[in-house]
């Protein structure tokens, strides 16, 4: 995930959320809903105290950062994105005390959590392993890497991706491929959960979703792994 490879998002930065809202219309939800869904998953899945440090690796215009601020008070959030124009869209209130940069060297190496949310499908396949290794290298021992990706076997997901202008060249990863990549990065305790099952029309069933992590029908999935003492 290099600056030269991904500055194409500079062209979408100003209109990113409008384009995303349009592509998500079939789900009946907004970008904020999906950002909060991921933040809620982290709150359930990983214990992050008020002094924790979170790295949003591929933070874009800051949708997930905003959700972290709302649902994980007291946690410091830093962000990395190779698109400077995207970083400029993140407000001072959203940034808080965090550091937001397009320079990997500016990041710390003691994060409790590093998140890649919808990042890998924008990276060329031959660079997937390198992107995961780079993000993992920023974790402290015992820190957790969390990868959120689209499930290519879900037809609604395919419809959303096909409708999204900045997903034109996306290469969707099956969950088993992401599990393999995270494992080969050297992380331990690797687990996978399928997420996002019910569109807005069936929102009454959403309380069931945390119990459906085993079911490969989710629109997205999350793969988590922990950095061991030796890495």
Token code pair at residue 222: 């999350």
Question: Of 223 and 48, which is predicted with more confidence?
Answer: 223
Averaged confidence pLDDT in the chain: 87
Dihedral sign, Cα of residue 102, residue 13, residue 40, residue 167: negative
The confidence score (pLDDT) of residue 50 equals: 79
- CB distance 64 to 41 below 8 Å: no
Q: Give pLDDT tens digits for 86-113.
A: 898 888 888 888 999 999 999 999 999 9
What is the pTM for the complete model shown? 0.89
Token code pair at residue 34: 């999906």
Q: Give pLDDT tens digits for 146-205.
A: 999 999 999 888 887 777 766 778 899 999 999 999 999 999 999 999 999 998 889 999
Estimate to the nearest angstrom the gap between the alpha carbon of 216 and the chain centroid.
Answer: 19
Q: Are strands 53-57 and 76-80 parallel, antiparallel or unpaired?
A: parallel
Percent of the chain at pLDDT > 90 equals: 60
Q: Does domain 3-226 have CATH number 3.40.50.150?
A: yes
Domain ranges of the chain: 3-226
Q: What residue has token string 């500055």?
A: 7
Q: Using alpha carbons, select from 82, 118, 126, 153 the residue that is nearest to residue 223.
A: 118
Q: Distance between the two ends of the chain, CA-based, in angstroms? A: 21
- CB distance 172 to 161 below 8 Å: yes
Maximum Cα–Cα distance for the chain, whole Å?
Answer: 47
Instruction: Give the full edge-to-edge strand order of the sheet including 220-226.
Output: 100-101, 76-80, 53-57, 111-117, 139-150, 220-226, 188-195
Token code pair at residue 5: 């490879």
């Amino acid at each position: 995930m290099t600056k030269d490879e991904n500055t194409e998002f500079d062209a979408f930065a100003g209109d990113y959320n409008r384009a995303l809202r349009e592509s998500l219309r079939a789900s009946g939800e907004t970008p904020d809903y999906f950002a909060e869904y991921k933040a809620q998953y982290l709150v359930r899945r990983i214990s992050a105290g008020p002094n924790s440090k979170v790295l949003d690796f591929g933070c874009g215009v800051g949708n997930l950062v905003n959700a972290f601020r709302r649902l994980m008070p007291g946690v410091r959030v830093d962000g990395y994105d190779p698109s400077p124009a995207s970083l400029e869209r993140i407000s001072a209130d959203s940034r808080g005390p965090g550091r937001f940069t397009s320079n990997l060297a500016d990041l710390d190496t003691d994060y409790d959590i590093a998140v890649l949310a919808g990042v890998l499908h924008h990276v060329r396949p031959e660079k997937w392993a390198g992107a995961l290794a780079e993000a993992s290298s920023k974790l402290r021992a015992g820190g957790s890497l969390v990868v959120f990706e689209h499930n290519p076997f879900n037809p609604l997901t395919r419809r959303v991706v096909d409708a999204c202008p900045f997903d034109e060249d996306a290469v969707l990863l099956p969950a088993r491929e992401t599990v393999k990549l995270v494992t080969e990065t050297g992380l331990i305790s690797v687990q996978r959960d399928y997420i996002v099952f019910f569109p807005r029309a069936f929102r009454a069933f959403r309380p069931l979703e945390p119990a459906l992590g085993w079911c490969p029908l989710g629109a997205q999935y999350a793969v988590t792994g922990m950095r061991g003492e030796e890495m």
